Structure 1
Amino acid sequence: LAESYIKKDRPFPQAVLCGNDYMAYGMLDTLAKNGISVPDRITITGYEYIQERIYHYPILTTYQRNRAQLGAEAIRLIQQQLDGHPGTDFTPPPGRLIPGDSCQCGLDPAQLLAEQERISLKRTDYFLNLFGQLEFELTECRTIPDLLQVCRKYRYMLRHAEEVYLCLYEDWYNDRAVSETVTCYSLLAQEEPFTIQKHDLERFCSGSAAAYSFSPLFSLQRSLGYAVMKFHTPAANTPLYRHWLKAVSNGLEFLRLKNDIQYLTQCCNLSESVDNMTDMYSKRGFHSAFDAAVETFDARKVHLVVLRVCLFDESYATEGSGQKIQALLAASDAVKCFCAGSRLYGRVEENTFACVVRADTADSRLLADLLGAILLRAVGYTRCYGTDSFVCTAQLCTPDSTYQTEMPKALQELDQLTRISAARRTCSHYREMLALRNQFYLSPEVFFETDSTGLPCSYSSGHLRTIYKACFGVNPHHDCITGRILLARYLLFTTQDSIQQIAQQCGYRDSKYFLRQFRLHTGMTPAEYRRACSLTDT
């Protein structure tokens, strides 16, 4: 419009009343560049008073609406609508003229001085934003208390604020914070942190009436929490405060990343000594832990127990590596259950687990059998690999024992047991007999008789006994009892059930008969066995 006047496309008017101050500044700047005097040649006025008059010449005359009264009138009209009353005519409340030099009114020096003070403060804020060390110091924080201390150090950026709270979701450091609980930290008062529900804002709004600003804290798409500021003057909500919010959000993101990196570094350091899949010691970790613990070993009490699993991958596992992983995890859980509080266990080879346990009266063979009984109850393992897919051995340790002296002996014993187990698999009808044995061991409470017509094999009783004994070295009836005794061992170790209850769970109607058979197979009563298997922490 100014250019059209200058080019004489339009005649110069006496005055132009612009729709807002930005339009007025555009006209003033263009007229000034072309040497046209304002207000001598033309009067320019603005509207809305955006408080940037000192950046343009001459000082603009503008109009300021009564925004506070406008807001009050808006609330009144809304309330009338909510109450069902007909609306009344609205008369805008009067504003005020802000005089300047772009008309004949003349400048009000006091008004200009107030504007200059605001602009000076704004420039100071810009300087502090540009050269302040807030963002740098926040990036060096390693904990929430460190971050809070830096925020309080730069509290001058929270000008005119009466209270400021940093409110973080309980899981703010997760990729997607979903917690309904928020922890709030006061930055201007010495208060203990307090916890509220996500939308429970009443805690902040108690006391005298005031304005509150609830500003989100976020990094990219990740919500961290919010900041709450209580104030009585709009001057509190400045660009400096908004810069402070951004710096705090970035500081929290740096803190989260640092903790993630520290965790990953610790994992890398541990990865050489810890097996990531089972959360046990790795071979190197178990080696070091074993040698570090030998000085506490007592030759009468401490045993090294080694278990090898998944001997014949082709036998049952038909769904690839995923099934084998599940079987290995089930085996590791069985080892942890067996160790009964001891943390000295590890996965020393792909399919081999080792542990050190302290038992007052148990011998090594008893401990090896007990671990086998526990593994048999690990359904996730036996369903994949069956009952013939593992071997276990145990041996006493002394204060002179080392990993290099004891582990080779244990592995040699496992190799020999594995060869024996592999030789059995060459027997004819082995798979059929193994299916029968699996039932004996996995469901020992079900009573089987070799001459029963309900047998899962279409053989005569005599022929069945012959081929069964050729495969496993014992007859079916004896193996059925062995399965029950293995279940009893497991229950005696893992439960506090009474002897009578355990007998019933193992399929015995007569607990006295159970006692006789248990003693015949183990050389001790159930009560003695339970005491012997009372392991203590190594």
Structure 2
Amino acid sequence: MKRIGVIIPSITDGLQVELLDGIFKTASAADCDVIVLTTATNGMEFHIQNEIMTGEESIYLLLERAELDGILLVSQYFDKATVRKTLSELIRRAAIPCIDLGGTKLGFETVSIPQAEAVCELTDHIIEKHGCRDLIFLAGPEGISDSEQRISGFLRSANVHDCSYEIIYGDFWKFRANELGNEFIEHKRRLPDAVLCASDTMAVALCDTLQSGGISVPDDVIVTGYDGHISAISNFPSITTVSGNMFELGKTGVNKLLGIATDAQRSDMHIIYGASCGCVERMKDYQTAALKVREQIQRDAEIGAMLEMRVNANVITRTSSVDSLDELTDIVDQTAHIIKSYKSLHICLLPNWDSDPEHPDACPTQPFPEQMLCALSKNAWTAGVKGGPFPTKHIVPALMGEHEPTLVFVLSLHTSSQVFGYCGFTYESALDFTVSLLLFNYMTSLANGMRILRHKLYAEYLQKIEESSHYDKMTDMLSKKGLLLYLESQKELNVRNCIMLVTVSQLAAAPNRKKKNDLSDIYLQSDLLLANAIRLVSGRNKTAAHLDKMTFAIVFSLPDNGTPETMAEEMMIQLELLIRKMQEGTSADFLPEPYYVCGEVAYPAEKCVSELWDVLNAHKPKVKGFTGIGELKKLRRELHKAPELNWNLTELSKRLNISKSYVQKLYKEHFGISFIDDLIEARIEMARQLLLTTDLRISEVASSCGYQNATHFMRQFKNKVGMSPSEFRKSSK
């Protein structure tokens, strides 16, 4: 069975899904598998390449190992020229036949689909059905093939019907459409009978501008689009448009790649009649449009519901505490049902993911090895199976042996740039796959579990090294073994030595906290702060040792007029001052509160240290007050990840099983900000990002950030930012 690879960035738009639907339906009819190499994000040209992008884009390195009969490169959706160049080099090195569906000048073959006929049919409809004789065609950029084809279809109809017309070159985007609409409103240009737009984005923007200026669509002017995008179908008024363009592109690309002759007369492109041309009597088309909108709304609702279930299921917490790969794959087996509509999933790991414990943050992937390790294969709603090594050229084990044509989406399994392998998801239809926050979080939690396993192996490795060494590798102090040898050597000198064991009783919030850290880093930061402080306090006249995790020892000589308790208390004061001073130059959110025991050294030294250690653990202070601080911090992280949800004190008090007033007190005490102010800041920050990166209306931004009232949102935004949302968006351009 042949295999076609599709290279495409994050699949977030309905037209991308339509393209993949056309690819898979055509490929499966020709008995071909389709493997989609994709990512969860798509870097823009102005984005600096970061570790997360590098980790995600490592999935394209599979091209050097995958056994593919051809590649479809969807280059038009890759926004960074550097990524397009890298992909071009990878494809050439792999020596796999490639068709570039984006038509970019990367040197590969391209395809072109006939678009003139559909535009001609749409123009005929506007002229013959609605009697329009004075026309404007708002095209794309001059010289672009898609734009010129659509112009030729318009001209064919306009000339046959002897209509007056004007061609205006645009940008396929909103800017020229907005300008044209304002020209009509300000009477700088005469209003025609109809404006036919070469893209739905331009048609929607033109309708919005016209109607905001008092010009009615379709009563004063008819507007049409092209693409069949959900934004056109769901617009008010719904846009009359040409649909099926991307499906046809996918179909044509597959046929050219496989050398299959296509029927020039048969096309999947068709007109969807909407209210923007006045075809209100075409109820069947309205019904079709309404069903599409309803399906989109249902999909969005399902994603939202599953996201809430994902948060409540606490998968991240479960994967963060695993002790073995088997335990991690068991969690995936038990929770994979929260991923929507998948047919099967395969966790494919680098065989040497755990073979270098001395370097826990390194996982080489360039290139991928000839064999991968299948940690788990699972069909939906059935128990998974632990696998073994398999040839990387097959991508996933499901493609080995005889099988029906299969659609596989492959995403990198990584934390930042540390790549552990990839996950392959198979689907019945391209329409079933969505890159959602739910899927992104699930992949992240799985990769984080792998990272934690690597660090646990590193900790075990250090422990073994430490046990066989006199020095602790992390702190450069004496190890426990080294301390005992040192104490025994002091016995011969008849020196009156004392020993002080120091540990952390609890963590206190830093008073000048400037940065929010993940809880997984807090204990490491506290350990390092305490170790550095002890190193400074011990100096030349004292000997320090790192015994276990956060337990340290300081050996000091006792003067004739001193006592162990007096000396130890003085050192504790110095330690606390040093810890707070060092914290000022770090990003630590919490300070370690040291606790100690002390006494004179007795022999044998091992027995003396052991007895002091027992006293230290027996009398260590208990954590004061409420013991669910970890849960409160987890809830706060959830709030900052999804501030648009209906957060309130009642919900928090139920989750924590304490009163609302106590929640407020704890929130302020531990985070230095009230709950309501923290929620507002999180929502305003989300609004900033949406205003900078999207073209959503202000009311849509308000709704997306959890505001029921757009006026309240605008007032709160101005109060926090110092300008209105509109002013903020304009000032950022």
Q: What range is the shorter-chain TM-score in?
A: 0.3 to 0.5
Compare relative contact order (CA 8 Å, sep 6+) and give the higher one, 1 or 2: 2
Give the TM-score normalised by structure 2: 0.34
Provide TM-score, normalisation by structure 1. 0.46
**Greater CA radius of gyration, 1 or 2?**
1
